[in-house]
Each structure stands twice: as C-alpha cells, then as structure tokens.
Structure 1
Amino acid sequence: MNEFLEQIRRGAVTLTPELAAAFAAVPREVFVPDGFRRNDGGWARPGDDDFLALVYQDDALVTKVRGKMPVSSSSQPSLMALMIEALDVRPGMRVLEIGAGTGYNAAVLASIGATVTSVDVQEDVAERARAALARAGVEGVTVERGDGYAGHPGGRFDRVIVTVGVAGLSPRWLDQLEPDGVVIAPVDHAGMHPVLAARRPETLADPAGPLSATLVCDAGFMTAAGPLAAGHPGSFPSPAGARELAELTEVAPARFDPPLDAIPYRDLWYACGVWDRRTSHAAVPGIQQSCLALIDADRTGAAVIMPDGSVRTAGPTLLGAEAAAVLDRWIAAGRPGMSAWRVGFTLTGDPAAPIWVPSSWEPPFRG
C-alpha cells in the first residue's frame, strides 16, 4: 500500500494526509470483482498471480467494453487524487458524482467524510457499483440509475464531480449546487478532456450562471452519453484515425531540438484549441503518440504540428500556414502553460437540453 500511495503522489504531485488515508482505507480490488482489461487486450481476473499487483498500479482499469470500446472503468488513482483535491471536499459535505464507474471514487470520497449521491446512465454499472460499495462496507453513498445531465432532481449539493468526458456543464447541476459550490469536470477541448474547476462569481445575481473556471490538469476520459456529449456551435472535430489521413508531407521544418516533451506539447495543444476551433488530434503512422492537428471541416485535409515543431499536411488543405501561425503565436506569447488560462462559459446547444460550454479565455500574458 505504501508503494501505491507513492505512485499516486508521483502522479498527483501532492496528496493530503486525509486523502492518503482514504486511499489506504479503501480496498480497490473489491471494486473490480470481475476483473479488468489488460494493456495487451487480455483480461485480468481475481486469482491471477499478478492481479493485486496490477490493481495497485497508478493506472485506469477498464471494467466494461462494448465491442472494442471501453465504456466503464476505474479511473487512474493519481487523476482521482488531483480531481478530489481540487474539489476541496470536507467531512459532512454533500457531493453529487456524475458517472459511478466501479464505485471506487465514491468510496474514497465517503472515506474523507462526504455524503455522496452517484448517478450513472448504465443500470448494470450502477448495480455493480452498489454491490461493491456494500461488500467494502462503505456507508454514505447512494448510487442512482439516471441521466447525468439531470443530476439528482430535488437534491442540494456542496460539490459536483464528473468522472466522464462531457461537452459542457449541465445547468441542472448548478440548480442543485450551493452558491459557494464548485464543479470539477473534464470538458471537451480539442479532442481531449482537460479537467476544469468551475465556480460562479461571488457577486452573481443569476444563480444559474454564468461561470468561470480554472484548469486542474490534462486528462482523457470516456465520453458521456446523451445531452452531455451533444454537439453545439463551436464543437471541436473528432480525432482523426491513422487510416483517415492521407500521406503526410512536411511543409514547415522542425523548430525544437530536442522536441517538446509531453507537458509543453500539451500546453501548445491547449493554446491551439483556444485560438482555432478546428483543433483536435490525429494518429500519425510511425509515431507512438497522437499528435496535435487542425482538421478541415469536410475532413479531407489536415495539418499536423509535430513535437519537434515541424508542420505536416495531409490531403488538399491550406491549413499548413495556419498551423505554423498558431505555433508562432504560442512562441511569441512565451509558450504559456495550460494552467495559465481562465475560462468563461456560454449557455448553448439544444434549447431543450442546453449546456454551459467554454467560450472565452483570459490569459495572464500578452499574445
């Protein structure tokens, strides 16, 4: 267990004593009784020699797949820690959780002293989470089957935490949130789901909005179903698969030697999404990581910014020059980090099920 906590600390940077005690108190294996998918595509099951060693790695555990697509999991513990710490939850608080998963996240919150209402759209997922919480002897958690967009009608909460990728924030959550509450949610941005901490201004007259948010961390999540994943004006394009792009041709040379590592490349990707709504990412043959890309609306062409700063294009497109211009802008702005941005929201989407989506960004720098 000490090694498990050290892994979480390495991934989460900080880990409060209260949260460390909660992770130590909750047996993660109880929440994956049917096993989980291995990295090689096989299935790890209780009784396997390496089962517990895998359970207590700082990795997400995929517990349900549909076809080849994961549809439920236990999140990476260090990511859980970052989100829970940003939630600033204290004993006695009421927490609304959107996406029950295995029940493990709710169990950790309950161990801190929160009362948790968890909502999941999949009945079998909700039922397995209830059973796991009961086996673990966790009290203070209620798991409901329902559309996460609606939250928990009639409920009042001090905090909201969302454990699936969403296109925006539901107004229903704000209706159910105390005025000084916070929403922690992974919200779509350029094909990924950076985690936002959203709050209402203290002087707000309208309790339904608007919102402002800061960034907690980078992340990628499974996408929610229903209104929480609905497209809206300004939606980013979906990522491009390796077989979707034509052969890439270099149109601008490398700028970085050595190439950008994961953190500054992520920062560039986030800024590109702020400045150009055609931003997503693309699988590039021969490259292990998915790369930052601008994708034409008709998806016949794309421009890819590689970690070394070179620009490559695929198909009939004029996006190469625009990708290079975005790169110039990021460099001229001092290569700002993702956490530099403050995010504003607009209510948009289907009038019958609107969502608050990021629409403005205030950087503390010139550029």
Structure 2
Amino acid sequence: MTGPRGEFLERIRQGGVELSPELAAAFARVPREAFVPDGFQRRDGSWVLPADPDFLPTIYHDDVLVTKMDGKVPTSSSSQPSLMALMIEALDVRPGHRILEVGAGTGYNAALLASLGASVTSIDAQEDVAVRARTALARAGIAGVRVEHADGYPGRPRERFDRVIVTVGIAGVSPHWLEQLDPDGFVLAPVVHAGTHPVLRVAGPPVRARAVCGSGFMQASGPLNAPFPDAFPSPAAAMAELTPHAPARYDPPLDESTYRDLWYAAGAWNRRASHAAIPGRRQSCLALLDGTRSGGAVVPPDGSVWAGGDEAAGYGAAAAAVLDRWEAAGRPPMGAWRISLELAGDPHSPIWVPHRWQI
C-alpha cells in the first residue's frame, strides 16, 4: 500500500494501539474517503473538500473528521482511528458476532466491524446521518451492516446481540442493551466521568464495569444523557482569576496517559471533578469546580494547584488532597479501577450510572 494510506497503519499504532492482523487488514482494506464524500471540517474550522489537494492526506492522518455541525457544535463525525482501533480491539470481535452499534456516524466504524466478519445493526437518532452512512456503506461495497434511524436508548427490542458498542458520549448505560445481550456479552461505551468520556466495558448482573481507555465524544441527548443527583459538573468555559495554591510536583510534567490516570482518580474521589479552559493553555485542565462553575481549583500536568472564587482555599486543599491520595495509592492506572453502577436518570427511562469505584 502506497501513498497517503501507506503510513496509515503506522500512525494508528503510534496512537498506542497494538493492531491485530485482522484489524490491520480491515483498516488497510476499507477506504475511509468513501465515508466522507462531502468533505469534513479541519480543527481550525475550515472545510476540506474532495477536490482539495490535502483531502486524502488529511483523511489518512490519525485524527477525527467532523462531518456535521449545528452552528458551532459538532453533531456527527468519523472518530480518531486509533481510538476506533482501541475500542474495536477491546470489543473482541469474532466472525459471526451480532453487534449493535449505537451511533452510526459516517458508517466507517461499522464497515471495519463488518470486515472482521461481524453482522452489524447500526442505529442513529439523526435521520440524515443514518441515510448518509447507509449510502456510504453501499458505495464502499460493504455487506453485513444494517443502518436504521432510531433512538439508541431502547436498542433493538426482540433482537439479541453478542456485543453493544456505543460511539457517542453518554451519562449512563441503557438497561435495554444489557437485556438484549447473549450470555458472555458486554457493552462498550464512553460514559461521562469528570468531564471526559472514558470507555467502559459493562456487563452484568450484577452490573459492573472497568475502564478500557480515555476518550472524548460528542454528547448524546435524551434519556442517555439525563441528569441525576450527584452527577459531575459540566466543564467550565472560563474560570475566575486563579492564584497559586501549591507548587508544581512533577518535572517534567505528567505525560498525557499518566495525567489521564490522575484525572480518572480525581473523578473517583471527588464528585466536583471536571475540566476547565485556562488562558494560555491549548488543552483544558483537570479542575474541581465549585457550585458556580466559575471557581474552584485547577491541576495542570505539572501537579501545581491553582485556585479561585469564593471557596478557593477549600477547593485548593481538596485538589492537593487528590494528588496526595493518588501518589499514596501508587499512581493507579485507569484500568485498575473496578466500578459498580446503579440505576438513575429519568425514572421512566433509567440508565445505569457509575456509582462506586474501587482499586
């Protein structure tokens, strides 16, 4: 394989994925460009069209391709290939598996699953997204995928699946998905935790989960994103003026993976954990947000603590305590946590939400 696709597999591997031969062959075989025929949005907000010289080179980078916007809010995309690969490997797909995919996106993820020999039912709440995914799959010559316009929460009543994979950020797992699984099946879903969407492997009864990897997804609507008591605060777009509370602990700063581990632990130990945009930094930082969501404390990757707002001292101390506890626990990785879930959300359409964490 030459040209832009020639380096694609290596770029995915550089994203931290050990590709099985079967999945590597699927990525090499399925043309990603067939699933974005109308182009996609760059990270800088500009639109890439098929006639542009960087159309194919950009498609075969390890990056998300946003394909639909509602104003300034992305509502559909083709996920980052290395994240797709991590989730598909964790799904442990076997030929003949029946897979329910909640969130069709462009259809590319379903195409990869079908290329592994699975039979895929993909549903999307946006009718135009479902239509485009169905058309793209036909264009690419992919068999074994059924795309339907439907709400994801009920799943597919009266049908059975070996796996459920969710490609949209959710507050909790639908009980219907678990009911529709055959024995030894499980749900793989990005469930909100401290303002991020770590991917959980959920099975039951009893309903338990473990974290697979970190991620960031567009947020679902409806029952899958219903509010519930003691939910994490949504991220803060801006914070009050921050002042130093504790000096940096890490030189060099924590790398992305280890910082994500700290972030996950913060969410397990403090329900005010989320993230906040900080002036002068490209990436949002781990934050403990007060009730106004404009104050609290921020912990950058260097382990310093900055605090602001009316309760700055208390939140600064709480952030420092999280760091102390994480160090004392031996810096547990995200995958070390075992998670218990409970029913919450809309009483008429409940969801299983993470409730208790243990290392």
Q: TM-score, normalising length from structure 1?
A: 0.94
CA contact (8 A) 1:302 1:315 kept: yes
Q: Please say if 1:224 is aligned against 2:214.
A: no
Q: Please say if 1:236 is aligned against 2:253.
A: no
SS of the aligned residue for 1:214 comes to: strand
Q: 2:170 aligns with which of 166, 170, 188?
A: 166
Identity of aligned residues (%): 67
AA aligned opposite 2:339: V
Aligned residues: 353
User: What is the RMSD of the two structures over their aligned residues, measured on CA atoms?
Assistant: 1.1
Aligned to 1:307: 301
Q: Please say if 1:293 is aligned against 2:287.
A: yes
Q: CA deviation at 1:301?
A: 1.9
Q: Please say if 1:256 is aligned against 2:253.
A: no
Q: CA deviation at 1:300?
A: 4.5
AA aligned opposite 1:301: G
**Could you list the runs of 4 or more consecutive aligned residues of structure 1 that deviate by over 4 angstroms after TM superposition?**
none
Aligned to 2:240: 246
Aligned to 2:66: 62
Q: Please say if 1:81 is aligned against 2:101.
A: no
Q: Please say if 1:361 is aligned against 2:345.
A: no
AA aligned opposite 1:351: P
CA contact (8 A) 1:165 1:224 kept: yes
Aligned to 1:203: none
Aligned to 1:326: 322
CA distance in 2, matches of 1:307, 1:58: 24
Aligned to 1:9: 13
Q: CA deviation at 1:233?
A: 1.8
Aligned to 2:133: 129
CA contact (8 A) 2:173 2:351 kept: yes
Q: Which structure 2 segments of 5+ residues have no match? A: none
CA distance in 1, matches of 2:17, 2:105: 24
* Residue-by-residue CA offset, 1:37-87 (whole Å, 9 max, x unaligned): 012211001111110111111111000011011110001111111101111
Q: 1:176 aligns with which of 173, 180, 190?
A: 180
Q: 2:119 aligns with which of 100, 109, 115?
A: 115
Q: CA deviation at 1:234?
A: 2.2
Q: CA deviation at 1:13?
A: 2.5
Q: Structure 1 residues 210 and 347 mapped into 2: Cα distance closer, same or farther (>3 Å)? A: farther
Q: Please say if 1:103 is aligned against 2:107.
A: yes
Q: Please say if 1:215 is aligned against 2:211.
A: yes
Q: Which structure 1 segments of 5+ residues have no match? A: 201-208
CA distance in 2, matches of 1:293, 1:300: 11
* Residue-by-residue CA offset, 1:286-333 (whole Å, 9 max, x unaligned): 112211100112324211112221111121112111111111111111
CA contact (8 A) 1:190 1:237 kept: yes
Q: CA deviation at 1:12?
A: 3.8
